[in-house]
Amino acid sequence: MAFSASLSSPLHFHNPNPRFSPKPTKPATVRPPTTTKPLYAIPPSVTTDVDSATIAAIGGGSVAALAAALSLADPERRRKLQAEEVGGGDKEVVKDYFNKSGFERWKKIYGETDDVNRVQRDIRLGHSKTVENVMKMLTDEGPLQGVTVCDAGCGTGCLAIPLAKEGALVTATDISAAMVAEAEKQAREQLDLGKEGISLPKFEVSDLESLEGKYDTVVCLDVLIHYPQSKADGMIAHLASLAENRLLLSFAPKTFYYDILKRIGEFFPGPSKATRAYLHSEADVERALEKVGWRIRKRGLTTTQFYFSRLIEAVPA
């Protein structure tokens, strides 16, 4: 479920950055009726169900009016029912989703098939930018031959496989058994295992809380979107405890603009939207790292039309 993209010492990509503005006050004169052109807002869809990236058409009202309308939606009720169906909370819903319909959807996005829509193709582009920038961030420090790396939330192997091609000793984990099986299949097909210095990653089914061991580097891409900040703090601390030299994290950034668009997306949910999508402020992530004696050394942002992700590299302070 690594989805999720982000970067190297600050790399910035184009962001269309639409704006919401209240309508100006009209003078008290009689005028012929006019037609207001709708403003189209694209909610962020990093690591969430692609169908949730629904385009909301909003006629030129203010953000305050929009917020009032959003209060009519009840996404939590949908999620509660979904959690009851699988017999658990957020983690069980995520696990169930990525083993079933979510697996097929994200397998297509992370793959090379042409059977994707415009939104899915754009998210694929954003995710690939993240992987490229993570690889650059890692290789800038020197060769990866023999370096131990944990890819926590490996998805279908989009990062684990390039790491292995560089000679890294990779442990790749995911909460979804279907994702892990696909990642191992792709690795066996893409890696030249007869080449000296190239070895098959060690694939494991595991959630973040259960990860063990020590690694030179730990990478966790676009997985924090499934954790509220209260739990994300613990996850960040746990991942840092596994890393000896570097920790790379990417997450959906929490800003006023992205938060409003996320709420719009929940007001117009796709039929298969199943998991919560939590945004995180960079300041909160930085504070969580500082609590366990780490500091941010590099940071950046990857954005496409439908994909927004902040990437940070942390090292021991």
Mean pLDDT of 146-159: 97
13-27, 33-47, 253-267, range with greatest mean pLDDT? 253-267
122-131 per-position pLDDT tens digit: 999 999 999 9
pLDDT of residue 42: 31
The band of 257, judged by pLDDT with boundaries at 50, 70 and 90, is low
2-11, 52-61, 99-108, 236-245, range with greatest mean pLDDT? 236-245
DSSP secondary structure string for all residues of 124-190: HHHHHHHHHHHHHHHHTTS--TT-EEEEET-TTTTTHHHHHHTT-EEEEEES-HHHHHHHHHHHHHH
Q: Which two tokens stand for residue 242?
A: 């596994």
3-state helix, strand, coil in the chain (%, to 5): 40, 20, 40
81-85, 86-90, 117-121, 225-229, range with greatest mean pLDDT? 117-121
Evaluate if residue 294 carries a pLDDT over 70.
yes
pLDDT of residue 33: 44
229-243 per-position pLDDT tens digit: 889 999 999 999 999
Q: Is residue 258 a contact partner of residue 16, using CB atoms and an 8 Å limit?
A: no
7-29 per-position pLDDT tens digit: 333 333 334 343 333 444 444 44
**Please, what sign has the CA dihedral across residues 254, 109, 314, 150?**
positive
Evaluate if residue 132 carries a pLDDT over 70.
yes
37-46, 98-107, 255-264, 294-303, range with greatest mean pLDDT? 294-303
pLDDT of residue 43: 32
Residue 157: what are its φ and ψ, rounded to 5°?
A: 95, 20
Evaluate if residue 202 carries a pLDDT over 70.
yes
Mean pLDDT of 147-172: 98
Evaluate if residue 182 carries a pLDDT over 90.
yes
Q: Which two tokens stand for residue 195?
A: 């080449």
Residue 228: what are its φ and ψ, rounded to 5°?
A: -65, 160
pLDDT of residue 170: 98
Mean pLDDT of 266-281: 64
